């Protein structure tokens, strides 16, 4: 699911910045809905195969490669600059609520309906989103000059725009390095629960819920209380909190599951505050006309090394152990958080947000 989006994302932003952004979101959502509808018909006919499920995930990823940067690049055109962090926080709250309620709701619906009817709910949701967008005016940023499509030149224009903003390259680089370490560790949460703590699938579910609850609180802290804190300082602090959560989770004895659940709650909160703050900084500091390219390229550059990290997760965990992996990863993330405070130009990006 990650690979198509990460590869296509390298160029999808070029088209997002050239096309009508509202129309791009509507078409991307419609494309994803049509793919889901096709799989639904296969379920009704009893002809569905696992390869078709994989194909659906690939096509969904392709649609997301256009929808996500178009949506993220549209927010600064709708919300006042001083409200961008709150919007990002509220968005995190919505995503967190979905991650908490989604699995049990899905299990409940599976007990009542055939999976084909449940997939129709996804199609209906996309239809509602598309119709709703028709009634929202989303202005398109004016390009400085109308030029013929040249993907390389458009990407170079965006890269020059990012380099012109002091500290932004450092912010991106540290974020990519942190994600490279964090994403593989997230995959190990179920294994730490099952193997180290000798837990059950129910306890795995508890960790998922408390992590989601932490994300919900983190989104609320940014979205409702609107913290008047330098957002880059806040990002760096969340690196430290997340790193400490990994580190101390790796130190826990087998009977320390309850503390792991508590650490997971604060880890989810840190991740939510970090992401909302990061998105708000980018939306405020980057020019709207190149924002689609910046978000899509950053997402791709962020995901590609993470995929490599995910592929090596099993080998690393088998070689040095799951707990040791948490310890080392926590130290690395903490180190990145400390180093980040020594970039004055990067810290200045988070002021007045």
Percent of the chain whose predicted confidence (pLDDT) is above 90: 51
Q: Which residues contact 333 (CB under 8 A, 6 or more apart)?
A: 178, 181, 182, 239, 240, 242, 243, 246
| 266 or 45, higher pLDDT | 266
- What whole-number distance in Å separates Cα of residue 14 and Cα of residue 286? 15
Architecture of the domain defined by 151-345: Up-down Bundle (1.20)
* Residue 279 exposure: Cα atoms within 13 Å on the Cβ side: 30
The domain locations on the chain are 151-345
> What pLDDT is stored for residue 122 in this prediction?
86
What letter would DSSP give residue 60? H
313 pLDDT more than 80: no
334 pLDDT tier (thresholds 50, 70, 90): very high
Q: Quick one: how far is CA 74 from the chain centroid?
A: 17
> What pLDDT is stored for residue 305 in this prediction?
66
- What whole-number distance in Å separates Cα of residue 235 and Cα of residue 281? 10
φ and ψ of 21, to 5 deg: -70, -35
337 pLDDT more than 70: yes
145 pLDDT more than 70: no
> What pLDDT is stored for residue 260 in this prediction?
95
Q: Please return the burial class of 29, using the count of CB atoms within 10 Å of its CB with bins 0-12, 13-18 and 19+.
A: buried
144 pLDDT more than 70: no
Nearest to 323, CA basis, from 260, 235, 236, 258:
260
180 pLDDT tier (thresholds 50, 70, 90): confident
Residue 74 near residue 22, CB atoms below 8 Å: yes
**Span 18-40, average pLDDT:** 91
- What whole-number distance in Å separates Cα of residue 100 and Cα of residue 205? 10
**Span 172-199, average pLDDT:** 88
Residue 313 near residue 113, CB atoms below 8 Å: no
146 pLDDT tier (thresholds 50, 70, 90): low
**Span 155-161, average pLDDT:** 92
Residue 150 zone, left/alpha/beta (φ > 0; ψ -120 to 50; rest): beta
| 214 or 56, higher pLDDT | 214
Residue 209 near residue 100, CB atoms below 8 Å: yes
Nearest to 91, CA basis, from 108, 66, 74:
74
Neighbours of 30 (CB within 10 A): 15
The string of pLDDT tens digits covering residues 234-245 is 999 999 999 999
What letter would DSSP give residue 19? S
> What pLDDT is stored for residue 106 in this prediction?
80
> What pLDDT is stored for residue 302 in this prediction?
82
Handedness of CA 306, 59, 76, 100 (dihedral sign): negative
Angle formed by the axes of helices 115-134 and 84-110, nearest 10°: 150
**Span 70-79, average pLDDT:** 92
> What pLDDT is stored for residue 250 in this prediction?
92
> What pLDDT is stored for residue 142 in this prediction?
76
The string of pLDDT tens digits covering residues 82-133 is 899 999 999 999 988 888 888 788 878 888 888 888 888 888 988 999 999 9
In DSSP notation, 197-246 reads: S---HHHHHHHHHHHHHHHHHHHHHHHTS---S-HHHHHHHHHHHHHHHH
- What whole-number distance in Å separates Cα of residue 271 and Cα of residue 254? 25
The string of pLDDT tens digits covering residues 281-311 is 999 999 999 999 999 999 888 877 667 666 7
- What whole-number distance in Å separates Cα of residue 21 and Cα of residue 109? 34
| 28 or 53, higher pLDDT | 28
**Span 271-287, average pLDDT:** 94
> How far are the Cα atoms of 4, 51, 303, 314, 350 from residue 311, in angstroms, in the given order?
16, 21, 12, 7, 34
Q: Which residues contact 185 (CB under 8 A, 6 or more apart)?
A: 246, 325, 326, 329
**Span 3-29, average pLDDT:** 89
The string of pLDDT tens digits covering residues 42-62 is 888 887 788 888 888 888 888
**Span 154-175, average pLDDT:** 93
Nearest to 99, CA basis, from 207, 194, 202:
207
């Amino acid at each position: 699911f990650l690979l198509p989006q990460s590869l296509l994302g390298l160029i999808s932003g070029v088209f997002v910045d050239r096309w009508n952004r509202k129309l791009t979101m509507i078409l991307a959502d419609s494309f994803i809905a049509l793919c889901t509808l096709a799989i639904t018909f296969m379920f009704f006919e009893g002809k569905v195969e696992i390869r078709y499920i994989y194909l659906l995930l690939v096509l969904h990823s392709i649609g997301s490669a256009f929808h996500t940067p178009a949506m993220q690049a549209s927010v600064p055109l709708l919300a006042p600059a001083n409200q961008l962090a709150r919007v990002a926080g509220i968005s995190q709250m919505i995503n967190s609520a979905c991650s908490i309620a989604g699995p049990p709701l899905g299990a409940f619906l599976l007990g009542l309906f055939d999976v084909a009817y449940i997939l129709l709910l996804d199609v209906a949701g996309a239809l509602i989103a598309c119709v709703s967008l028709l009634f929202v005016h989303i202005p398109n940023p004016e390009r400085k000059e109308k030029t013929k499509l040249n993907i390389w030149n458009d990407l170079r224009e965006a890269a020059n725009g990012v380099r012109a903003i002091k500290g932004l390259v450092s912010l991106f680089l540290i974020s990519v390095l942190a994600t490279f370490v964090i994403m593989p560790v997230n995959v190990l949460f179920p294994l730490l629960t099952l193997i180290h703590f000798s837990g059950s699938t129910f306890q795995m579910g508890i960790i998922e819920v408390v992590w989601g609850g932490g994300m919900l609180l983190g989104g609320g802290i940014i979205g409702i209380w609107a913290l008047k804190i330098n957002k880059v300082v806040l990002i760096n602090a969340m690196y430290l909190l997340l790193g400490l959560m990994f580190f101390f989770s790796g130190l826990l004895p087998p009977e320390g599951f309850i503390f792991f659940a508590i650490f997971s709650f604060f880890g989810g909160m840190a991740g939510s505050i970090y992401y909302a703050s990061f998105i708000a900084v980018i939306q405020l500091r980057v020019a709207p006309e190149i924002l689609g390219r910046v978000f899509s390229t950053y997402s791709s550059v962020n995901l590609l090394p993470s995929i490599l990290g995910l592929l090596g997760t099993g080998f690393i965990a088998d070689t040095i152990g799951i707990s040791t992996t948490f310890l080392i990863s926590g130290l690395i993330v903490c180190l990145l958080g400390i180093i980040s405070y020594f970039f004055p130009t990067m810290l200045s990006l988070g002021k007045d947000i």
